[in-house]
Structure 1
Amino acid sequence: MERAITIMYGSTELKASLHYPIQTGEGKDVKGNQGGHCPLIVICHGFIGSRIGVDRLFVNAARQFAAAGYMVLRFDYAGCGESTGDYGEGGLNAMIEQTRVVLDYALEIDYVDPNRVSLLGHSLGGAVALLTAAQDRRVKTLLLWSAVAHPFNDILRIVGQSTYDHAVQYGSADYMGYSLRPSFFESLSEHQPFAQIRKFTGDVFLAHGTSDSVIPTDYCSLYQKLFWMRSYGQCDMELIFQADHTYTTGGSKRELYDRTLEWLTYNEKRKREWHNWEI
C-alpha cells in the first residue's frame, strides 16, 4: 500500500509518499520484521530533483524495497516536486533539517524499528544523507548512490560558471526554472562530506555507475577508503557497469536495486551473527 502524506517543516509543506511493507499474508507480520517492527528507508533525492526520480528511479526502488519488507518514505525537499517553499533557501543546513523532520515523522509510526533506520541518498542527496547521519544518531545505515563529494565544485560543474557568476552579480540566477541565490552556493562551500565521515559509526553501502558523466565514479572508491578508516562501521562498494548518473536503463536499475537489497540482507545477517557471538 502507498499513501501520499504532507510533513510540515515550519510553514513549508513537504510532500511525501509512504510505502508500507508488503505483508506475507492477511493478518501476518511483514517480512523481515523483528518483534513486530519493520526496517525503515528514507530516500533523499538530488539537486533540483523530486521523490519520483529521473525515469521513476525512486518510485521503482521504493516499491521493490517495500516488497522486501521495508517501510519506505520518499519526499520532496522544499521547492522541489510538489513541496512548497523555495529551493535552496537556507542552503544545505535547511535540507539537513528537513531530512531530520522527515525522520521525526517516520519514527512516530509505531511499527517502525528505530534500530533499523537507513537513509538512501542519490547525488547531492547522498551528501545530505551523510551530513544528516553525522548529526543524527537515529540513522543506523547509509545507502549512497552516486553521491556528491564536493558539493560546491560538483554543483558548479553542473550549473556552469556563468550561472554562478550571474547569481553573485545580480542576487539570483535562473537554472532550469529554479532561482539559485548566492547563499545557496555559499552553503555548498561550507559543507565537506569527507570531513564528516568519522562522525558516522554505522554501516555504509556505496553504488556508482561506471559511465557517470555528472559525478566522478572515483568518488565511490574515495568514500570507501575514508569510511574504512573509521574505528567502527563497515563499508561496501558496488560499481554498476555502464550505468549513468541516474541509472537510466532497465538493466542498470535492476542491478542497482538488487545489489542494494542483497547488501541490506547480508548486513542484517552479519549483525545478527555478531550479536549472537557477543552473547
Structure 2
Amino acid sequence: MEHHITIQSGNIELAATLHYPVFTENETPDRSATARTPIVIIAHGFVGTRIGVDRLFVMSAREFARHGYMVLRFDFGGCGESTGDYGAGGLDAMIDQTRSVIDYALAIDCVDPQRVVLLGHSLGGAVALLTAAKDKRVKTLVMWSSVAYPFNDIVGITGKKVYEQAVQFGSSDYLGYALQPVFFESLTRHQPFEQLRKFNGDVLLVHGTADEVIPVDYCFLYQKLFWLRSQGQCDKEVIFQADHTYSGGQAKEQLIQKTRDWLLYIDKRKNEWNDWTI
C-alpha cells in the first residue's frame, strides 16, 4: 500500500510517498513481526526526484516494503512535485527538510523510533550523513554513491561556468534550475568527512566501479574514516561495472538486494542483542 502525502517544512511543501509493509500470501517475512515497524527514509541526489533515475527509488522502496519496512521517499524543495526553489537555502535547507521528514515519520504510531534508517544517493548521501551527524534520531545510515567534497563534486557536474555565472549575476541556469550563490557557498561550508565521527550508528556504503560522476575511491575513504569511530560498524559493497545511477537491470538488482540483505542483517543483530539481559 502506497500513499502520496505532503510534508510541511517551514514554508515549503515537500511531496512524498509513504510505503507500508505488505506481504503476499506466498511470501514470508524475513524477520518476525514486531509491535513497531522500522522505517527507511530515502533522500535523492542533486536536482533529482523521489522517483529516481529509471525508477530506482520506487523499485527500492517497494522491495524494502515487501520485507517488512515502512519506506518514506520525498522530493527536496524545488524538485519533483515539491514547492520552493531548489538550492535556495543551500545544504542547510536540505538538512532541515530531511529533519522535517523525520518528524513526520516518527509521528506515525507504528514506527519504531529505534530503527530509523536514512538512505541517501549522491548529494543526498552527503545530506543524509550531515543530517545524521546532528540528529540523533537517525540510527542507521545507507549511502549510495555518495558525494564527499560537496563543492568540488557538484561544480564538477554543473561545470565551472555555471558556478561563475551564479556568482557574477546572482543566479545561473542548470537544466532549468536557477542556482544561486547561496547554494554554492553552502557546499563549501559543509564537509562530510569532518562530520561523520558525530554519527555512532551502523553504516552501509555502496558504489559502482563504473561511476564517472562521483569516484568510487570515495567509498573506500569513507569506510576508513568511519572505522576510526569508537562505535558503530561500517560495511561497503562495490558493484562491478555499475554507473552512478545503477542503470541496467543487473546493477540495480544487486544494489537493491545487497542493501535489503544488509538492513535485514542489522535488524536481526539488533533484535538478538535486545534478547540478552545483564
Q: State the TM-score, normalized to the length of structure 2.
A: 0.96
For 1:102-145, what per-residue CA distance to the aligned partner results, in whole angstroms no more than 9, with x for missing partners? 00001111001111000000000000000000010110000100
Whole-angstrom CA distance in 2 between matches of 1:65 and 1:89 = 32
For 1:155-188, what per-residue CA distance to the aligned partner results, in whole angstroms no more than 9, with x for missing partners? 0000001111111111110000000011100000
Whole-angstrom CA distance in 2 between matches of 1:173 and 1:15 = 25
What one-letter code is carried by the residue in structure 1 that aligns with 2:248?
T
* TM-aligned CA deviation for residue 265 of structure 1: 1.4
Matched residue, 1:21: 21
Are 1:41 and 2:45 counterparts? no
* TM-aligned CA deviation for residue 264 of structure 1: 1.0
What one-letter code is carried by the residue in structure 2 that aligns with 1:178?
Y
What one-letter code is carried by the residue in structure 1 that aligns with 2:48?
G
* TM-aligned CA deviation for residue 12 of structure 1: 1.3
Report if aligned partners of 1:21, 1:30 keep a CA contact under 8 Å in 2.
Answer: no
What one-letter code is carried by the residue in structure 2 that aligns with 1:264?
L
Whole-angstrom CA distance in 2 between matches of 1:112 and 1:83 = 24
Matched residue, 1:167: 166
Whole-angstrom CA distance in 1 between matches of 2:277 and 2:132 = 26
* TM-aligned CA deviation for residue 30 of structure 1: 7.6
CA 31–8 in structure 1, closer or farther in 2 if over 3 Å, else same: farther
* TM-aligned CA deviation for residue 31 of structure 1: 6.7
Matched residue, 1:233: 232
For 1:19-76, what per-residue CA distance to the aligned partner results, in whole angstroms no more than 9, with x for missing partners? 0001466xxx987466411110000000000000011010000000000110000000
| More displaced stretch, 5-14 vs 53-62 | 5-14
* TM-aligned CA deviation for residue 272 of structure 1: 3.1
CA 265–30 in structure 1, closer or farther in 2 if over 3 Å, else same: closer
What one-letter code is carried by the residue in structure 1 that aligns with 2:7?
I
What one-letter code is carried by the residue in structure 2 that aligns with 1:199?
K
CA 9–186 in structure 1, closer or farther in 2 if over 3 Å, else same: same
Whole-angstrom CA distance in 2 between matches of 1:251 and 1:35 = 33
Matched residue, 1:96: 95
What one-letter code is carried by the residue in structure 2 that aligns with 1:129?
A
Whole-angstrom CA distance in 2 between matches of 1:234 and 1:39 = 19
Whole-angstrom CA distance in 1 between matches of 2:264 and 2:7 = 30
Question: Where in structure 2 are there 5+ consecutive unaligned residues?
Answer: none
Matched residue, 2:66: 67
Whole-angstrom CA distance in 1 between matches of 2:33 and 2:131 = 26
Q: How does 1:144-155 map to 2 (within 5 A)?
A: 144-155=143-154
Matched residue, 2:137: 138
RMSD: 1.5
Is the partner of 1:74 in helix, strand or coil? strand
What one-letter code is carried by the residue in structure 2 that aligns with 1:22?
V
Is the partner of 1:43 in helix, strand or coil? strand
Whole-angstrom CA distance in 1 between matches of 2:138 and 2:216 = 25
* TM-aligned CA deviation for residue 267 of structure 1: 1.4
Matched residue, 2:188: 189
* TM-aligned CA deviation for residue 78 of structure 1: 0.3
Q: Which segments of structure 1 move beyond 6 Å, counting only runs of 4 or more?
A: none
Are 1:9 and 2:31 counterparts? no
CA 264–104 in structure 1, closer or farther in 2 if over 3 Å, else same: same
Report percent identity of matched pairs.
65
Whole-angstrom CA distance in 1 between matches of 2:169 and 2:223 = 40
CA 240–164 in structure 1, closer or farther in 2 if over 3 Å, else same: same
* TM-aligned CA deviation for residue 86 of structure 1: 0.3
Report if aligned partners of 1:43, 1:75 keep a CA contact under 8 Å in 2.
Answer: yes
Report if aligned partners of 1:24, 1:30 keep a CA contact under 8 Å in 2.
Answer: no
Matched residue, 1:258: 257
For 1:76-96, what per-residue CA distance to the aligned partner results, in whole angstroms no more than 9, with x for missing partners? 000000000000011000000
* TM-aligned CA deviation for residue 271 of structure 1: 2.4
* TM-aligned CA deviation for residue 269 of structure 1: 2.4
Is the partner of 2:223 in helix, strand or coil? helix
Matched residue, 1:199: 198
What one-letter code is carried by the residue in structure 1 that aligns with 2:214?
I
Question: Where in structure 1 are there 5+ consecutive unaligned residues?
Answer: none
Matched residue, 1:56: 55
Are 1:221 and 2:225 counterparts? no
Whole-angstrom CA distance in 2 between matches of 1:12 and 1:30 = 37
Q: State the TM-score, normalized to the length of structure 1.
A: 0.96
For 1:194-224, what per-residue CA distance to the aligned partner results, in whole angstroms no more than 9, with x for missing partners? 0011100000000000000000000000000
Report if aligned partners of 1:21, 1:31 keep a CA contact under 8 Å in 2.
Answer: no
Whole-angstrom CA distance in 1 between matches of 2:7 and 2:29 = 25
